[in-house]
Every structure is written in C-alpha cells, then in structure tokens.
Structure 1
C-alpha cells in the first residue's frame, strides 16, 4: 500500500486575503497530520496573484512549528533561482529544529522573465551542477560546509514531468516526484520506469523512491464535486490568461460566468489532469494510477475553491483510505 500526502498552493479565495490563505494552509496541515497523511508540502509560485505560496521554506518553518509529526516539505524550491549553498543552509536550519521531518523538493520550472531576473540575477550555472553542489552541502562532502551541521538530513526529492528529470534524479540518486497533474500522458509510466531502472545510490538515498502527484476534487457526492471542479476549471483558465484576477474564483462565480466554446475546449483538456468525484470514486482512480506507476506514495493537490471544501476533501479521502489518525 502506498502512503498519502498533501501539496497545498495556499489559494487566495475570492473575497479573502493572502494572510487568510496562509492561515488556512496551517489549518489544512494540522488536519492532514491528525487524519494520517505522511507529508504536507507547499509550493513555490511567483507572480501568480491568486496563490500566497511564494517562499516555501519560510512557510515550512511555520508549519513545522504548528504541527508535531507530519513531514513538512517543499514542492518545490525552484533551484535555478537561487544559490544551492543558501538553499542547503535554509533546509539544514529547518532540519536542525525539526529533525527527520523535513523534505527538500527541488525543481527547475521557469517563471516570468522579470521574475527570473529578479530572483537569480542571471546566474550562469547548470541545474546539474547545482544539484551536485546541493548534495555536497547536505552531506558535508565538499570543502565548504553549510551550517548548521545536523545529525540528520532533509529528504531530497527531484520534481519533474519528463524523461530528462527522471534520468537526472536517477543519476544523482535522489527520490523522484512525478507531476502527473501537469502531464498525465501514458508515457509517464515509462518515465518513472526509466528512473527506477537507472537509479544509482547516493549518500542520501540507497533505493529509488517515487511520489506521484495528482489534482483531486473530492466531495460528499459526485454532483457536489462537479460543481467545485467548475471553479477549478475557471481558475486554470485564469492562470493561463494575460490578465488573471488576484483570487481563486468561487463556485458561484464559475456558475454565473460559464465558458465560451474555445474555453470549453481548454476545460475538456484540463479535465484530463484531474480526478473528480466522491471519496470512493477518487480512491479507486488513485489506486488504479498508483498501480500503473508502481508509486511508493501519492500526493494529493486539493487546489479547489473554499477552505472548507479543501478541508472536507482531504478528510473524506483519509476516511476512504482508512488512514490512521494521530
């Protein structure tokens, strides 16, 4: 049986604020812990005004302090934006204060051009080299030591959607988180298989380990889940537009607005990225996909409208899977 995790974006609901969104993320993390989820990760998004999650390591410190046992992680830190040394120091600090509870998920998704320039100052260093540097800093295997020095290390996960990331994770000996929600193609099974077959042990990991990340919309009934999903459909359209509003649209807004014929085509395509339904339906689909990918863990992304809907969704799914409560 695979473990279940949560990845939260800290969505800013229509009529709400960034502060409220972050406090809602805190409550979601507490619920995930009590419901029996293994990990709670937070994302890094820049210039996406409808989500508050821009600095995962900062939010992680708050969440780790607000909980006691669930693993807290980044999903993920976009490494090309930063100094590998500073990332190592940040996560060693987290690990020092919360040993054996910290996950460092890294990725390389590019943001808006001006954001990239503001964050990294046009640094010229390869992602491959940054990962090598990061691993050295986390294992004290280079000349330069990242402090604080800790007895334990954060788990290192490489996030990706294709063969390149899978091969890199295998070559570097990191765990691999496959973003099925971003690219739900059948080829993903081969991507994960390539990672497992090519994996080379490292100082941080002896055997390959795979997380599969999925969008899930869970409600009491299939009809209610479909209503919630319509707001999700609209949010995805918004974030892909030139002028997205600074909030996550409500279910009422989505109902009143509707979709044009062209938008409906995009909605239909985006629906391939989601699992929608009551808890038993979503559970069955998650089990099917997890079996196809031979996943060790599945991460649920409850990026839906309404804090109560997010809380209720992960509660219902935990009950359907029979997770043990703390």
Structure 2
C-alpha cells in the first residue's frame, strides 16, 4: 500500500526536477549561469538546460539601450544656482556581460556619481548665459568622462544629453524681464525707423509740391508778363505811348480784380487802402461824400418845391379859365 503512494510522489518529484532544469532567456537579454556559486557560462536568448540543484541562474542582464535621468544642482560662475537634467543613454556590451555583472554592483549609482562630478566641475566655469549656449559642451564632457570610466565595467555610453536647465525662480523672472525689455527696445527702434521713413517721405513730397507750385507761379507770371507786353504793343500801334499804356493796363487790372471779387457770393471782403494817410483820406472822403449827399438832397428838395409851386399855379389858372367859360355860356 505504501509503495503505491510513494511511486506517484517520486514520479512527481522527478518531473519537477526535470522541468527545473529547463529555462528560457528573452530577446536582448543574457543569463549568468553558476555552478555551486562559481561562474559557469553566459546564456543568450533561447531555450537552455541546466543541472537541477547543481546549477543556478545567478542573474539576468538587460542588453537593451537604457536611459538614466540625473538631476544635478550646481552654481554658475556668476553665482546663480541652477538645476540641470542630464539624460545618459547606455548599453551593456554583449561581449562584456561578465564584467557588467560581476565588476559593478550598482551601475546606476556609478553613472550618477560621474555625472555629478563632471557637471559640478564644468558649470562653475561658465556664466548662466554660457550654460544655455554651451550645453552641448557639457554633454560632451560628461559623455567623454563616462565612456572612459564605464568601458572597464562592460558598459557603453551611447549618448549624453542636457535635457533641461532650470535656474532659480527669481533669476528666471529677471531673465524674462530682460528679454521683454530687449524686445520692447527692438520694437521701439522699428517704430522710430518707420516714423522716420514717413517723415522723410512727407518732406520729399512737400518739397516736390513746393517745387512744382513755384514752377507754376513762375510760368504764370511769365505768361502774364508776355500778355502785358503784347497789350502795350497793341496800344502803341494806336498812338498811345508806353507810360499811358502801362497806366491804362494797371487801372484795367484793378477794376477787373474788383469785379471778380464782387461776383463772389457770400463774400464779406472789404477793400481798404493801406497807406499811412489812408485813415485820414478815407475820413475826409466820407465827410465829403456826406456833405455832397446833403447838398444834393437840399437841391432836390428845392427843385421839388419849385415844381410843386409851378404845378399849383397851373391848376389855379386852369380853374379860372374854366370859370370864365362857364360865365360866358351863362
């Protein structure tokens, strides 16, 4: 009875032992196989076998490209504290899996320590603006230092990137104000240049307008002078000398001007002489005009009286004649 129970149990143990000797390794990874605690072999991707109980898998190594982000806080040359985010892309060399597994206990800590060391050695040599402009130089320095240090441990540093530069909040605000001020300055310069161009263009247009206007006035006066010359020649031909012709033309132009002004509607223009004696002469002329007007008025009144008297006498004679005729008829 006991034999029937032990046989299945023994078969089960055998199966477990057999299956424990079979293992698989994933793609882009490697397994380190040890026997009694001593390195035996490195198994790559696929199905593998090991001796149960005697052999064991000590660990597995990832052969993919990995990335480690390291945040470093340091000070620049102009005493500004800044945080830099360094992204390190690394990979275990397939031929150096043994060194990567046995020589280095914590690769992430090792890489972080080297990044801190290089960044804190390079950034204090630069000013804050230079840190932004020369971030590639920092990345190259970190990459070079890590490659030299990590190759002995079986790691290949593929790329090192400075992915973020974050100064202190107050410094960042000050930089934004400086940037805004610079942009306002540039905008003001462009606006001033545009205004200058407008002013120059306007001045040129006014100068051209004045030039054309002066040319028009000169042409007008030239034609007027030519017309006056022709008028004087015409008057000379009819026996009027040049002096009399000039006086006649001036008087004619004077009255033509007065007529042109008078023809304008809604005009409140009054022409007054502008000589020093103009005021007294105008007053004397007004007094003389009023005196002459009064005299003419008195003369007209006397004439009207005489006409009225003559008319009255004529009516009286006419009535007397009619009365005599009526008496004769009687």
Range of TM-score over shorter length: under 0.3
Return the structure number with greater relative CO, CA threshold 8 A, min gap 6.
1
TM-score (normalised: structure 2)? 0.15
Question: Of Structure 1 and Structure 2, which has the larger fraction of its residues in helix?
Answer: 2
Q: Which has the larger radius of gyration?
A: 2
